[in-house]
Amino acid sequence: MPIGSAIAKAIGYSLNRWSALIRYSEDGAVPIDNNWIENQMRPWALGRKNWLLAGSLRGSQRAAEVMSLIQSAKLNGHDPYAYLSDVLNRLATQKNSQIGELLPHNWRPSVNM
């Protein structure tokens, strides 16, 4: 196999990323592919052209952040409306050092919900 051939490049690519490639075999919770998450994100990707009219770069970045929170809430089994409602109500009084508690993977509904 000549150096620089397509097969040599493919093997080199695989070897350089070996730890990432075998990660799923070391941890049973890690899927072999990301098809499921890509399918969950597809509705957002299909609307991309509509979001070009977000008004500004900052507006579109904020929209992307909110969409990420909504999708993360869904992936963690939360009702997105309940999650965002609770987080927005608690955000003003949440200590900066405890802001991570409001992320979807750490979130627990407040007792007032």
Output the tens digit of pLDDT for each of the chain's 113 residues.
678 889 999 999 999 989 888 887 888 888 888 888 788 777 767 666 666 666 777 877 888 788 888 889 998 999 999 999 999 999 999 999 999 999 999 999 887 66
* pLDDT of 49: 65
Q: How many CB atoms lie within 10 A of CB 41?
A: 14
Take residue 52 and report the two structure tokens written for it: 């070009």
* pLDDT of 22: 85
Q: Is the pTM of this model over 0.85?
A: no
- Secondary structure (3-state) at 67: helix
The residue ranges of every structural domain in the chain are 56-113
Taking each continuous run of H as one helix and of E as one strand, the counts in the chain are 7, 0
Length of the chain: 113
Torsion angle of C-alpha atoms 44, 47, 50, 52, degrees rounded to 10: 50
